[in-house]
Amino acid sequence: MLFDSHAHLDDKRFADDRRAVIDRAAEAGLVGIINAGACMESSARSVALAAEHDIIFAAVGIHPHDARDAKDEDYEQLAAWHSLPKVVAVGEIGLDYYYDLSPRAVQQQVFIRQLDVARQLNKPVIIHDRDAHGDILAIVKKEAKGLTGVFHCFSGSWEMAKEVIKLGFYVSFAGPVTFAKDGKLKEVAANIPLERLLVETDCPYLTPQPFRGRRNEPAYVTFTAAEVARVRGLEPAALAEAATANTKRLFGLGC
């Protein structure tokens, strides 16, 4: 009974078989999927998917790649979407210094403004952090007081994970934890408190072993969860139960 805490089922790569993908997720035992927005258009698609499918919940937000296109009225729309019962978080938001598709100062400004939206709504946030560990921790410490959320597809060190937990946030693991060479990530997965751990696919990206190189989909979260269970010395069912309870608690979905 797993929960994919981060997916992008609105992506065009699912255009031809989206319903079949969602059906396979249910058949694999998933009880829920959080579909995360990355821009205003994909956030609208995420809201529509949540309305159409019982298993899907929506997050809405502006990804750092698209921060350069953010407008003042977008923040009002992000807030307005939260009047809908299946919109559960602001995300995904954050910083991406790997691709730098938006100027870093703009990324930071848009990130901070969306943290403010979440604070006003008392909603959790889904944070994207790529090659920006120092700046993102500094902003969260200063601007996210009183908020909770998740660092999705965590890529930092065990030392960073401890800081994230101290700030009241969760850590989510995606396909890379299954890769043989990612010992740093396996260390974090092995040591993080069980009550602060989520699993995800980030599909269609970051496909876990043994399907690496193919399009990812929510059903494959079972492989990520199994690897996290292995490095922790847990039965997969116990890991699934804990991660699902954590996801429901974070996003206000009940347990």
Q: Which residues are annotated as a binding site for a divalent metal cation?
A: 6, 8, 92, 128, 152, 202
**Radius of gyration for the alpha carbons in the chain, expressed in angstroms and rounded:** 17
Residue 174 CA to residue 130 CA, distance in Å, equals: 14
Cβ atoms within 10 Å, residue 49 = 22
Structure tokens at 18: 């989206």
Q: Which of 245, 238, 204 is nearest to 221 (CA)?
A: 204
CB 61 within 8 A of CB 87: no
Write the DSSP string, 35-92. Answer: EEPSSHHHHHHHHHHHHH-TTEEEEE---GGGGGG--HHHHHHHHHHTTSTTEEEEEE
Q: Which residues are annotated as a binding site?
A: 6, 8, 92, 128, 152, 202
